[in-house]
């Protein structure tokens, strides 16, 4: 199979959909990999590293699109790429798509006749989303780091050194949600010698966390009362809750923030789902924070974008097994063999095969089983 990897065209997107290690796996299996010149530059991966593991560097993006059976991307095509979608018959696109929120991209894929497999809807039988997990891990691990930075006076915070010094206490870090991002945040905060409290509604989850950290942090059952008590003692609050299919619940009111230590920092990882603090709204890496009632909110909706090198490697580690399945067997056979991958198939040659996308846009829905 010929695999094409264009450079990402979305503003502020520096990731790339393949790594040199991924190229090597594909070329060792007999596939060809064409990568657009400079596609890895934003992730600090030079063209030469791709060439060394067997890729061909192509200067013109039209050649990548027109020549590929399988196109690997990070983000959904942007309008300037829509015309490329119909260039090659039976082409498969494997990328983050978020089609339920993007009518124009859905229409472009339907008109182009592509088969589109969305990273974010690939789902294991236990309900977990293996191609979203790495980004939650990145954002979770970043949260105590950005919290620590902004807690320093030049970062806008109260001037607290998170790890403390002999004779001076370490920061109190409160994490709301003990899922993928919350656990990743806890790992880093414990590593930074902070006093960590993690809250979740799911007691079974808290048992696992307690067992995992063996006393290095405190677990607390989430309730309005417990959140208030914890936040009043906090230097950093990290919001990492998720209610699948719904907006994030508002767990920290402005009135509560007003009673917190002045100069404390609240990092809302959940801001991409509406945010779990009352005044959260999405911010960018160039202007990441704003003040609320004497505290500082950090609400960057695309935290992994700050660390594209690490994010690219984390993402491709997770996508590669599926990419290899598609390249090896073709998407139809790969989807028949792997239920998780089958859930990722959103569009097949002019038909919407993922029900929530059809529902979101009032388009006809064709169950995947009918086209497999």
Binding site for ligand NAD (CB under 6 A): 135-136, 139, 176-182, 199-202, 205, 222, 240-243, 248-249, 251, 269-273, 301-304
How would you list the strands of the sheet with 265-268, edge to edge? Answer: 218-221, 195-200, 172-176, 236-239, 265-268, 295-298, 289-292
Q: Which is nearer to ligand NAD, 183 or 260 (CB)?
A: 183
| Rounded (10°) CA dihedral 50, 51, 56, 59 | 80
- Closer residue to ligand NAD in complex, CB, 169/285: 285
Annotated active-site residue 200? The verdict is no
User: Which residue, 26 or 178, is less far from ligand NAD as judged by CB?
Assistant: 178
Strands 265-268, 218-221: pairing is: unpaired
Q: Which residues pair with 176 in a beta bridge?
A: 199, 239
Of 63, 83, 272, 361, which one is the catalytic site residue? 272
Closer Cβ to ligand NAD, 20 or 177, answer by number: 177
Q: Which is nearer to ligand NAD, 199 or 234 (CB)?
A: 199
Minimum distance of ligand NAD from residue 74's CB (angstroms): 14
Q: How far is the CB of 140 from ligand NAD (least distance, A)?
A: 7
Give me the catalytic one of 63, 98, 107, 149. 98
Q: Is 268 a catalytic residue?
A: no
Distance CA 333, CA 311 (A): 29
- Residues of 257-280 as b/e, b for ≥16 C-beta within 10 angstroms? beebbebbbbbbbbbbbebbbebb
Whether residue 180 contacts residue 133, with contact meaning beta carbons closer than 8 Å, is answered with: yes
Helices 20-28 and 308-337, packing angle to 10 deg: 30
d(CA 317, CA 184): 17
Phi, psi of 54 (to 5 degrees): 110, 5
Question: How far is C-alpha 219 from the geometric centre of its chain's CA atoms?
Answer: 25
By beta-carbon proximity to ligand NAD, the closer residue of 180 and 292 is 180
Give min distance, CB of 225 to ligand NAD, in A.
12
Residue 277 φ/ψ, nearest 5 degrees: -110, 145
Catalytic residue annotation = 98, 272
């Amino acid at each position: 199979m010929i695999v094409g990897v264009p450079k990402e065209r979305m503003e502020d997107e520096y990731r790339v959909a393949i790594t040199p290690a991924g190229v090597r796996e594909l070329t060792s299996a007999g596939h060809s990999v064409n990568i657009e010149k400079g596609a890895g530059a934003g992730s600090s991966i030079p063209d030469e590293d791709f060439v060394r593991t067997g890729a061909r560097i192509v200067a013109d993006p039209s050649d990548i699109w027109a020549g590929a059976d399988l196109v690997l991307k990070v983000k959904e095509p942007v309008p300037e790429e829509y015309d490329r979608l119909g260039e090659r018959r039976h082409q498969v696109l494997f990328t983050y798509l978020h089609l339920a929120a993007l009518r124009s991209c859905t229409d472009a894929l339907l008109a182009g006749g592509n088969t589109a497999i969305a990273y974010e809807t690939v789902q294991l039988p236990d309900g977990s989303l293996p191609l979203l997990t790495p980004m939650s891990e990145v954002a979770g691990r970043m949260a105590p780091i950005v919290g620590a930075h902004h807690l320093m006076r030049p970062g806008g915070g109260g001037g607290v050194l998170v790890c403390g010094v002999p004779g001076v206490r370490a920061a109190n870090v409160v994490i709301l949600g003990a899922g993928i991002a919350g656990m990743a945040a806890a790992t880093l905060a414990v590593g930074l010698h902070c006093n960590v409290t993690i809250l979740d509604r799911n007691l079974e989850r808290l048992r696992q966390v307690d067992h995992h950290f063996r006393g290095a942090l405190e677990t607390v059952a989430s309730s309005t009362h417990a959140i208030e008590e914890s936040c009043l003692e906090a230097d950093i609050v990290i919001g990492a809750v998720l209610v699948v299919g719904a907006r994030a619940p508002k767990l920290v009111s402005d009135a509560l923030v007003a009673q917190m230590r002045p100069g404390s920092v609240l990092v809302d990882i959940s801001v991409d789902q509406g945010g779990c603090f009352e005044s959260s709204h999405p911010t960018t890496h160039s202007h990441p924070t704003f003040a609320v009632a004497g505290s500082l909110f950090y609400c960057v909706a695309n935290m992994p974008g700050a660390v594209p090198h690490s994010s690219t490697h984390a993402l491709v580690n997770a996508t590669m097994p599926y990419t290899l399945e598609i390249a090896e067997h073709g998407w139809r056979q790969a989807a028949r063999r792997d239920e998780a991958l089958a859930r990722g198939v959103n569009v097949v040659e002019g038909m919407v095969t993922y029900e929530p996308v059809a529902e979101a846009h009032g388009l006809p829905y064709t169950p995947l089983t009918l086209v497999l």
